[in-house]
Amino acid sequence: MFKDFYEGVDIPSDFDKELVSRAFRFAKVAHRGQKRRSGDDYITHPLAVGKILLDLGMSAEMVAAAFLHDVVEDTDIKIEEIKDKFGLDVANLVAGVTALKQIDFSTYSKPEEAEEAKNQAKNENLRQLFLSMAEDVRVVVIKLADRLHNMETIKSLSPKDQKRISLETLNIFAPLALRLGMGEIKGRLEDLAFPIAFPKEYKFLKKEANRRYKEADRYTLKVKREIEDELKSANISAKVEGRAKHIYSLYKKITRPEIDWDFDKVYDLVALRIITESESDCYKIMGLIHGKYRPIPNYVRDYIAAPKPNGYRSIHTTIFGPEGKICEIQIRTHEMHEEAEYGVASHLHYTLEKSSGKSDKDLEKGTFAKSNQTEFLKRIKEWQTSIGDAGDFLEGLKMEFLDERIYVFSPNGDIFDLPVDSTPIDFAYEVHSKIGDSCVGSKINGKIASLDTRLRTRDVVEIITSKGGTPKRGWLDFVKTSKARQHIRGYFRKFDFDKNVLEGKEIVFEELGLLGYNIDDFSEKEIKSSISETSFKTVNDLYASVGEGLTTKRQAAKILVGRTIRPLDFKKSTQSLTRSQKIDKYDVRGLKINLAPCCQPNRGDETISYITRGRGLTVHKVGCPNIKNLEKKRLVDYDPWRKDGDLVSIRIIADNRVGLIRDISGLISEKNVNIEKIENKKVVESEKTEVLIKIKLIDFTTFSDIIHGILKIEGVDSVKRSE
């Protein structure tokens, strides 16, 4: 098994084979008798992870840590023993990759409780992984290799686990690989996860793309031969190759609103890549190509002069080639190509080559030595200190660092990396906090633009400041970056409490109204109960926090409403239990469910449930003698074995345009929410349409995301929950 480990790999002279060999033998003994779901010996997994790292040119310490990365988690071996036998460096790497928590989920009486505990543990483990990664980037390279092999062997898991892990791979690990410039790993992860996460979309896209790939291959082969002839005539050494677009990258591109599944608008289904010897040759080749073929205006991208924030360098140009067809061409050096494929791993490889005679000057040529990679890791570490629980961390991580990014320029040509949908305010605070605080206006590409304008890649942004300028609370409704949000919130801490209460209350009432609630429908006890689970002493403290900008209006609404969506009918529907008792009908999902020991209800029994203070929900049989001693207003119509759920209605007023229903239903589907009914009708004496949607009752956060997401859809005027 291990004897073929080094086969086909160039091993550096200083590579510590003895360390790697000892680590393998130790791991093999530790995992003896353990099997993977596939039935293979467990040691095959760490061996495969180590091989991936070896192929990437990583150090002996990283390969040894890969062999040992599951030993602490899955055996009785402690990290101290790893430190004693293999040194502090290997032990720290193992600790960084090892999951934080080991929880016995069998202790939970309810499946939903165990599932929630699992999710919390996974989120906390991810949080610790990113903290370790910020300390040592090698940790995440090992983790990506670990995830890659797990995806390669995922078929042995249950369909449910396959889907969960694949979605996590698409949402977290593949974007992380891209953020670190590891394009090859990112592409492999996506291609493995996409068919499992979205099987219907994959099947359709694969069938349609395969047909078009054949035609694209034929065409690019023709262009390839013509370019090779041009390069030969110009005596320029270069390799020309075709590159088919990864299927998931194609999916993301073709679902963009401006393309909307129109394959004819995808010009890089198969692109040509030219790899040459030097940077100057890249520009010579671009000149030759533009001399032979007409480039499409505004489709030339020089990422050599202005690299992407993740360190990517290349020239992209799109031309009208033979037969008048459009073709994309990428031009880069061998070094740029290695960086584009392997990113931060390539940088680590450069560092290892110091001992083989490569000069510091040579090492610094790679963009990674000068890029934002280390800044990215530093920002993650700083950002984590301002985040609350693990769930908030994961949501914020995706938005702040892993979702699609844009990069914009200052008038001086400095490049800034921002989340998609960032605004001039986010840019201003990214430049400097004083610039953000005194911002009163902006110019984008030389033209005056509003401060909530969504920036696009390659925009040139100029901030207009004033000595009398101050932050505005309304900025919190559209800024994207945590840096901007923190500075704006900090400014409003200076305002007096009473003013913040009044302003915060108005903001919260407006948000509750949007979601279909009236604060007058909440009893004083309900409000106190909601506040008691937070750090706020009174509801006015909550309003003041919103007024200061410390708490968003959506967070405040979630606190007041709770984790679930409450029915709009606060008159309460009733059904007869006994002659003297009535039941309140609320949605109680999210509460801990307990079966009353006094009557021991079972599936099929007619039940009544009681909301206890601090202990969740207790289910009794109807007729249980203890019911008469309970507060009637805390009795609810809930059967833990009942599968049906209440419906929530949403009313939308929007422009009567083609594609509106598709955009709305698509957004709801992305949240994994079923649409039970959808209808629309034209608004009398108007060009507007009214859309009524009914969806299954869901958790408050998802419902709020849907409402706010619909508001952002083109042409939507208003959204409100309705009866």
**Cα separation of the two ends of the chain:** 66
- How is residue 143 written in tokens? 């983790």
Instruction: Report phi then psi at 129, rounded to 5.
Output: -60, -45
Neighbouring C-alpha atoms within 13 Å toward the C-beta of 78: 3
Q: Which is nearest to 66 in space by CA: 124, 138, 2, 4?
A: 138
Contact 193, 252 (CB under 8 A): no
Q: Inter-axis angle of helices 60-68 and 88-97, to 10 degrees? A: 50
Contact 27, 44 (CB under 8 A): no
Active site residue 73: yes
Q: Inter-axis angle of helices 17-30 and 60-68, to 10 degrees? A: 0
DSSP state of 176: H
In Å, what is the CA distance from 309 to each residue of 262, 303, 625, 649, 710? Answer: 30, 10, 68, 43, 31
Q: Which residue has the tokens 């969806």?
A: 695
* 16, 41, 73, 226: the active-site residue: 73
Active site residue 606: no
Q: How far apart are CA 31 and CA 316, in angstroms?
A: 48
The residues, ordered by sequence, that sit 6+ positions from 15 with a Cβ below 8 Å of its Cβ are 59, 60
- Residue 409, Ramachandran bin (φ over 0: left; ψ between -120 and 50: alpha; else beta): beta
Contact 269, 263 (CB under 8 A): yes
Q: What CA dihedral angle connects 538, 540, 546 and 551, to 10 degrees?
A: 0
Q: Which residue has the tokens 């601090």?
A: 614
The burial of 648, by beta-carbon neighbours within 10 Å (0-12 exposed, 13-18 middle, 19 or more buried), is given as: buried
Q: Which is nearest to 189 in space by CA: 181, 198, 177, 202?
A: 177
Q: How far apart are CA 475 and CA 423, in angstroms?
A: 10
Q: Which is nearest to 56 in space by CA: 188, 172, 191, 168?
A: 188
DSSP string, 282-295: HHHHHHHHHHHSEE
Q: Which is nearest to 4 in space by CA: 19, 24, 31?
A: 24
Question: What SS3 string covers 226-257?
Answer: HHHHHHHHCCCCEEEEEEECCHHHHHHHHCCC
The alpha carbons of the chain give a radius of gyration, in whole angstroms, of: 29
Q: Is the dihedral of CA 548, 552, 555, 559 positive or negative?
A: positive
Contact 98, 114 (CB under 8 A): no
CA-based angle 640:641:647, to the nearest 5?
Answer: 75
Q: Which residue has the tokens 């797990």?
A: 150
Q: How far apart are CA 270 and CA 214, in angstroms?
A: 10
- How is residue 415 written in tokens? 């490049």
List, in sequence order, the alpha helices (H) in 15-158.
17-30, 44-55, 60-68, 71-74, 79-86, 88-97, 111-135, 138-152
Q: What CA dihedral angle connects 656, 658, 661 and 665, to 10 degrees?
A: -140
* 7, 10, 14, 74: the active-site residue: 74
The set of catalytic residues is: 73-74
